[in-house]
Amino acid sequence: MEIIKTAIPDVLIFKPTVFGDDRGFFMETYRESWFHEAGMTAGFVQDNHSASEKGVLRGLHYQLQQPQGKLVRVISGEVYDVAVDLRKKSPTFGQHVATVLTAENKQIFWVPPGFAHGFLVLSDKTEFVYKCTSYYAPDDEYALLWNDPKLDIAWPLDGIGEPTLSAKDQNASLLAEAILYS
């Protein structure tokens, strides 16, 4: 497993070793020792699986009382995945890391607690799976506006146009108005 550092040190990309032959492939998608090697101690309590069509944008979501770290990957299709640092005391507050996750590249993206997370579906259909460090708490969920100019996220919308958003994501907060971590 190759661990790739990003512009925000706490956000990591894991590139698994894939063993393939004419029968298919095998890879490990999670091993606790990888986290220890990277100096992290995250325990996972919940796994999620979502399916979306091209142009769906989910996020940018976060929880305050039960912040979730998310270890995310695509098992079918392709997404543009984004993590935004919302830790007020962080030197990278308001900055983001983005990467393309695909079923082919098999990369795994670590979004730590204290970050907003979202993704845009780039393929016709995508299935997305992720492990969480805290349980989902619907009463504790917040959302940042995906196209807040302050965030300056270069969403790849060519061939998509306007993304498909949930009502919650359409009414999300700007960073300047958001309720944030201490």
Residues taking part in catalysis: 61, 130
Q: At a CB cut-off of 8 Å and minimum separation 6, what does 64 contact? A: 140, 142, 179, 180, 181
What does 15-73 look like in DSSP terms, one character per residue? Answer: E---EEETTEEE-----HHHHHHTT------EEEEEEEETTBEEEEEEESSS---EEEE
Residue found by looking up tokens 């270890």 in the block:
71
Helices (H), strands (E): how many in the chain? 2, 13
Question: CA angle, corner 110, sides to 135 and 146, nearest 5?
Answer: 80
Rounded to an integer, what distance in angstroms lies between the CA atom of residue 28 and that of residue 19?
Answer: 10
